[in-house]
């Protein structure tokens, strides 16, 4: 059984083997949206769905703010808010 993290961007979805790769893709989408000046709209549509279940038995969902907090806590983002590429070499 493959356990997948799912990145949902509006109606489209992508599957990943781990949270770091799902977050890195989410981060790249937001970075592109900032350049085109529609980041608020894009951020509302993004979420990461965890293979882990919450206390009600539903998959945990992380919006951009929650995913960023989780990434910062796990060292995926450095102190300047950029993706820590060294961390991805370890995972």
pLDDT in tens, 39-80: 888 999 999 999 998 899 999 999 999 999 999 888 888 877
> What pLDDT was estimated at residue 50?
95
> What pLDDT was estimated at residue 17?
92
Q: Which domain does 29 fall in, by range?
A: 5-90
User: What are the Cα distances from residue 76, in Å, to 14, 44, 67, 91?
Assistant: 20, 22, 11, 10
Question: How many domains does the chain contain in total?
Answer: 1
Predicted model pTM: 0.84
| Cβ(20)–Cβ(76) below 8 Å | yes
> What pLDDT was estimated at residue 78?
80
Closest to 49 in 3D by CA, of 77, 83, 3, 8? 8
């Amino acid at each position: 059984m493959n356990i997948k993290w799912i990145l949902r961007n509006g109606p489209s979805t992508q599957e990943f083997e781990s949270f770091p790769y799902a977050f890195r893709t989410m981060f790249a989408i937001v970075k592109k949206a900032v350049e085109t000046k529609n980041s608020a709209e894009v951020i509302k549509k993004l979420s990461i769905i965890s293979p882990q279940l919450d206390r009600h038995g539903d998959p945990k969902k992380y919006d951009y703010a929650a995913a960023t907090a989780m990434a910062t806590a796990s060292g995926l983002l450095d102190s300047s808010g950029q993706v820590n590429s060294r961390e991805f070499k370890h995972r």
